[in-house]
Amino acid sequence: MTRLVRAELRKLWTTRLWWGLLIGVAVTAAAFAVLTAAIAGLSGADGTPTPGVEDPAVVRSVYTAGLGTAYLFALVIGVVSMAGEYRHQTITATLLGSPRRVRVVLAKLVALSAMGLLYGVVTVLAGVVAGASTIALRGGDLRLTTDGVPRSLGLSVVAVALWAVLGLGVGTLIRNQVLALLLSVGVAWIVEPLLALGLNALDAGSVAKFLPSQATTAIITPPTSAGGFDSTYLPWWGGVLVLLGYALVSAAVGAAITLRRDVT
């Protein structure tokens, strides 16, 4: 099993995609952290000041500002890890080398979880370094060990890893790599947030809060309004459970399809 996991990791590490995405994760996390900290406390559209860097929720949002893009990068690496096998016809060699498909699926899950954790750690580190510097310049308290900050940072890492597993399921369902990437990123980045916004506008926040992106946002204890509408979020532990549920279902469906599908 260890050899299979190493083989799956080697498939990812011998391409330029993983480190290209990793650089993107670091840069966007740092940029969003600086931006979030810089605009905190400025006047809103109605002229009233928004919460500043002295607010613990704002500090958590600063450090985890890159989460909204990091999980998309993790989703991409998950999709490519499986759909790419079918695109380049390497899945045949993989299954010939290890005919017990259950072991192959488990190895992919372990390898992708490790990559997702790596992306999550980089997201958090970049956000903390850039965000803490900006908060310090503005005279705020860094709160690195208090006010739920450590919990938010740790759960953000886990959330990114779970999105990588989600991507594996999508890549299994849709073997066309380009189509799988367009659909998964399009739904996660555009369709789902718009759907959540529409549901909140229709006072259906009790439904919207169970969407994957909303569950991810709930992990960092977000504000209760977005886009001018009151938004309903799960408690942080509820967000973790919902996101874990999506990941488990995705992994189970992906495993079932992989075990039954003819790859010749």
**Model pTM greater than 0.85?**
yes
pLDDT of residue 46: 62
Please report the pLDDT score of residue 227 as a whole number: 47
Residues of the chain with pLDDT under 70: 43-47, 221-231, 259, 261-264
What is the structure's pLDDT at 154? Answer: 94
What is the C-alpha end-to-end distance of the chain, expressed in Å? 24
| pLDDT reported for residue 71 | 93
What integer best gives the mean pLDDT of the chain?
85
Report how far residue 99's alpha carbon sits from residue 92's, in angstroms, rounded to the nearest whole number: 10
Using CA atoms in the order 185, 205, 33, 156, what is the torsion angle rounded to 10 degrees?
-70
Distance CA 32, CA 218 (A): 18
Alpha helices in 47-176 (DSSP H): 56-63, 67-87, 90-97, 101-137, 149-173
